[in-house]
Structure 1
Amino acid sequence: MTSPNGLICFTNCLLPLEDGSLVQRDLWIDERRGVILDAQRTFFLRKQRPERIIDLEGNILSPGLIDIQINGAYGFDFSVYDGDDEAYRSGLKTVAERIVETGVTSLVPTIITQEKTLYPKILNLLRPYTPPSSANLLGWHAEGPFIQLAKRGAHAPPFIIPAPEGLKSFENVYGPENLSVTEDWLMAGGGEGRVGVRMITAAPEIEGVMDSVEELSRRGVVCSIGHSIATTDIATTAVLSGARLITHLFNAMPQLHHRDPSIIGLIGASPHASAFTPITSPVSSSVTHNFFPHKAPIASTNSTPPSHTPSHSHTSSSLVKLTTGGKATSEAFDDHETPPQTPMLTKSSNAFSAEKLALKLSSKGPRGELHLEKGRVADMAFERPFYELIVDGIHSHPNSIRLAYGAYPEGCILITDAMKILDPNLRDGVHEWRDGKRFVKEGDKLYLEGTTTLAGSVVTLGKCVRNFSKFTGCSLGEAIKCATYNPAKCLGIENKKGTLRSEADADLVVLDRKGNVVSTWVGAKEVWRRDRV
């Protein structure tokens, strides 16, 4: 059903604002242009009222959900490319068409560490694309290969590499055309050939990474810290250099330690973070400062994805124990034996990171001074990064979720980090995976058959929103913000996505008051509706 004059009014609904509040207000959209309208301005300029009125019966009308880290869904894995461009595009189309049932209207396909010659082809195929009546594919998120071996999760060890030539190493892997300077991040409606959203997860302590962050950021790439053992100084320097995000907080990084809070500590960064001189302690006997895969041989692992080449045999006892005993792990989990606190690198590298941090901080000007005004926080020397949370109740404890949100609510972004088996219609039971292996699905948990080892996420983003509200005690409107406005702001597209601003894309999801998806709209067209019971 269409409107004769192209104007649609949603009425009797609650609208989530960018501050997380919910207000009762009508919303006008233009289905011909696919955008949200300023009702008052439209009425006075066009002298028209909407000829189609939709009564939402008190439900919530939200911006469409945005998933910036998803590995696959509905049987398709974004990281698997078999040389057939059309088959890959068909898989993307399937995901985009079906994921709207979960309330997602935009996503950033994520590829994990690959053989480096595959990157230019896959990234080119992942340019922005919006099939008819489907979610928007915004671009790409390359998670690896410049990550820490000791925090690799399920990333294949043979393909994890340093960046000895800095930015040139990034260009050699991803392709210079995919890292070109551009202002054309994301245009309304996407469109093949557009550059779109570009994200890279890397470990700043890896050779050449830190020196590349500033230039990558200047080129419009969202740099994210993840799969890393960075110390507090290194992580802080990465943020000062332009890193905007932390990849799946708590997972694949050191645990919080009060003397070196490492990456997790960034969300609670003090205005005087550099004033602390930590008391150093010996490194755990199971590790040394040599965490770089190019420095020494690596251990064998049975968790290497079947499409990858076998890893080298273990010949050095100085490295972390890397064998997983046949476990199939989520790429976000870290089941390797690393110390609970950040492993020390070397005295020279620690001194270098502290010196670099001091230089970065001094370039930011004077820091916050003592003051007498209650409620005012001293100025920060840098803006804290956004951070991702997988809120399936499995990857992180509810207490950890609430702790992070309480420290920095404005930076919280909900993600699924879902695997290709994501499908809310998939029944519990045993399902085929690949190379003769099978999954056991129990609700939102995945196990490799014959083990009790968790094998990834199958939670939907809509359920993450509901879980988040329960775990933190925040309102549903505040939880929605973490899956709409916050990810859009992190990507720099908040004028078009994740918002109800005038002239933003009319990508919308109708939720009932318990957060369940009722209907989904993309470009002012309804693309999915829940069957009434």
Structure 2
Amino acid sequence: MPSNKSVSDAPISQFINCRVLREQRLQREDLWVRDGRILDPEKLFFDEQGYADERVDCEGSIIAPGFIDVQINGGYGVDFSQASEDVSVGVALVSQRILQHGVTSFCPTLVTSPPAVYHQVLPQIRVQAGGAQGAGVLGVHLEGPFISAQKKGAHPERFLRAFGSRGLEDLMEVYGGLDHVAMVTLAPELAGSQSVVTPWPTCRRRRRPSSRGRASSRTCSTPCCPDPGIVGLLTSDRLPAGRSVYYGMIADGIHTNPAALRIAHRAHPAGLVLVTDAIAAMGLPPGRHTLGQQVIQIQGLHAYLAGTTTLSGSIAPMDMCVRHFKHAAGCSVEAALDAASLHPAQLLGITQQKGTLDFGSDADLVLLDDALNVKATFIAGEEVWRKAP
């Protein structure tokens, strides 16, 4: 039998005694990994006559693609929208801590802020691969300031912006640049917004425009789902034909009524993207915290704009959102897991690498028990976190 090293110097790992989420079904089969990617066992057996160098006993666990959080404002005392000289340190802390929640990739999110904040923060956040140091950074999500005052939620109205006559130049003036930006949330109803959205394909290929409060005719997301308008849209005949429409849901048990979750899932399950919308207070005791330029008061599981009853972000981690979504929507395990992995990868256009366990995909994995509690997290086939026995 030829040595595995006749093909690659990398060892081959075989995950056994598991149920693998593949093609929207949990299948009882082994999972093979080499060079940080999912390996096709038939090619290994018949073409290479290869074998496993190590076996990982999953003890009956579910293996799903690692979770992808495309809207996370911070956590563990870190607020991505706070300008400082060490933003990258805060991003690194959050990326390490969210491994315990099954998140293997994320988009650090900045809420509506003055231009000076973007100019200082954005150059410090870089796209980077995940690993033992933490979850991978897929790029920044810029939520605002080009959003409607009528649908601003907790965004500070004094920093909201409208488009002038220069389109993308207005955008660039506010942000200072779009390097390492994966996603921009803006209001399609704003005058001049189409002058930004229409030329978007000329921007870097992975970047995606997103709409707030309703879906546009492009691939998009609506990450602010306390607005009941999205449920009405999904159950209407106004969804754009022939277009992929994605919408974000904060399934923390606070933002979205369980009935709305059920209706949205049944109306358009393929587009539902679970997001945490987590703020700096995630993982910390109740009290006063920040979200960009505003003070947030944590009361129990609620995050309020201080002095109001306006919800402002969440403190729920992704695995909690997955469990609540499955319970509230009454959906299958597979559907709940897809909403936190496959769908966000589709939204960002990265399914060739992330969000699936297809052969050749990155071996970013989360091991879960039947109640969808995270048991271990792997990035590129390497264990990066495991729950203590």
Q: Which residue of 1 aligns with 2:333?
A: 476
Q: Which residue of 2 aligns with 1:12?
A: 17
1:223 to 189, 193, 209: 209
SS at match of 1:246: coil
Structure 1 segment 298-317 matched on structure 2, within 5 A: none
Structure 1 residue 170 corresponds to structure 2 residue 171? yes
Structure 1 segment 344-423 matched on structure 2, within 5 A: 381-423=241-283
Deviation per CA, 1:199-253, whole angstroms, max 9, x where unpaired?
Answer: 1111111121122112124423311111x5x7xxxx5xx31xx3422222343xx
Q: Is the 8 A contact 2:326 2:332 kept in 1?
A: yes
Q: Is the 8 A contact 2:125 2:140 kept in 1?
A: yes
Q: Which residue of 1 aligns with 2:222?
A: 246
Structure 1 segment 87-236 matched on structure 2, within 5 A: 87-130=86-129, 132-133=131-132, 134-164=134-164, 165-175=166-176, 177-178=177-178, 196=180, 198-219=182-203, 220=205, 221-226=207-212, 228=213
Distance 1:454 1:202, change over 3 A: closer
In structure 1, the gaps of 5 or more residues are 179-194, 257-262, 275-379
Q: Is the 8 A contact 1:93 1:131 kept in 2?
A: no
Alpha-carbon shift at residue 504 of structure 1 (Å): 1.1
Based on CA coordinates, which of the two structures has the bigger radius of gyration?
1
Q: Is the 8 A contact 1:222 1:245 kept in 2?
A: no
TM-score (norm 1): 0.66
Structure 1 residue 267 corresponds to structure 2 residue 234? yes
Deviation per CA, 1:20-75, whole angstroms, max 9, x where unpaired?
Answer: x2111110011xx2111111112333322112111111110111000000000111
2:347 to 490, 508, 517: 490
Q: Equivalents in 1 of 2:130, 2:288: separation in Å?
A: 28
Q: Equivalents in 2 of 1:93, 1:399: separation in Å?
A: 37
Q: Equivalents in 1 of 2:273, 2:315: separation in Å?
A: 17
TM-score (norm 2): 0.89
Alpha-carbon shift at residue 438 of structure 1 (Å): 7.7
Q: Equivalents in 1 of 2:294, 2:274: separation in Å?
A: 33
Q: Is the 8 A contact 1:66 1:498 kept in 2?
A: yes
Distance 1:250 1:153, change over 3 A: closer
Q: Is the 8 A contact 1:217 1:243 kept in 2?
A: no
In structure 2, the gaps of 5 or more residues are none
The residue identity in structure 2 corresponding to 1:223 is P
2:365 to 505, 508, 512: 508
Distance 1:211 1:269, change over 3 A: farther
Q: Which residue of 1 aligns with 2:322?
A: 465
Q: CA RMSD in A?
A: 2.5
Q: Equivalents in 2 of 1:5, 1:116: separation in Å?
A: 46
Greater share of residues in strand? 2
Deviation per CA, 1:116-156, whole angstroms, max 9, x where unpaired?
Answer: 23324422322202464110011011111111112212212
